[in-house]
């Protein structure tokens, strides 16, 4: 199994790519994710901006990740203003980190796959669904900064 850098090493990551709405239309997306290791767990705090021509919309996330502690999976909990509290698991799968989660009550579910290209680059593909309907999806690249 490859040694992952995302989550496992404190770093600031820039995010760029596309966000897809319910109807499949796309809009450029950019943002930042800061990974830090603290006494209460690993923090993964991010902001994503959707860049429509007329305006931009910003999403934030504050996530607390329990360290993996020798396992190939762990749990996380996030506060997301648009969806409320979400909880889920990160699972290591060779060169990928799988992220599975749902809101409290299960109204929304999240699925994301982060594929490591090298220790400074990950591709992220994911979606949020509600029941049998896709709410949004994304295809972005994470680039590690200083």
What pLDDT shows up at residue 72?
96
Query: Which residues is 102 bridged to in the sheet?
Result: 87, 109
**How is residue 10 annotated by DSSP?**
-
- If DSSP codes are grouped into helix, strand and coil, which group holds residue 120? coil
pLDDT in tens, the chain (146 residues): 459 999 999 999 999 999 999 999 999 999 999 999 999 999 999 999 999 988 889 999 999 999 999 899 999 999 998 889 999 999 999 999 999 999 999 999 999 999 999 999 999 999 999 999 999 999 999 999 96
**CA–CA separation, 115 and 93 (whole Å):** 9
What pLDDT shows up at residue 82?
83
**CA–CA separation, 84 and 16 (whole Å):** 24
C-beta pairs of 118-122 under 8 Å, 24+ apart in sequence: 119/3, 119/5, 119/144, 120/5, 120/144, 122/6, 122/13, 122/97
Domains of the chain: 11-18+26-144 (2.40.128.20)
* Residue 120 CB neighbour total at 10 angstroms: 14
What pLDDT shows up at residue 2?
58
SS3 content of the chain, % helix, strand, coil (to 5): 0, 70, 30
Give the dihedral sign, CA 6/89/78/38: negative
The pTM for the full model equals 0.94
């Amino acid at each position: 199994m490859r040694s992952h850098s995302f989550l496992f090493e404190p770093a600031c990551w820039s995010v760029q790519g596309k966000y897809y709405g319910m109807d499949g239309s796309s809009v450029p997306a950019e943002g930042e994710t800061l990974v830090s290791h603290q006494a209460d767990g690993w923090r993964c705090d991010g902001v994503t901006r959707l860049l429509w021509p007329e305006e931009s919309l910003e999403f934030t996330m504050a996530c607390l990740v329990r360290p993996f502690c020798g396992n190939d999976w762990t749990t996380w909990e996030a506060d997301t203003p648009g969806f409320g509290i979400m909880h889920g698991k990160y699972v290591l799968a060779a060169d990928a980190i799988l992220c599975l989660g749902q809101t409290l009550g299960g109204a929304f579910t999240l699925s994301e796959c982060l594929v490591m290209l090298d220790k400074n680059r990950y591709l992220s593909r994911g979606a949020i669904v509600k029941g049998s309907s896709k709410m949004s999806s994304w295809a972005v690249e994470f680039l590690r900064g200083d």
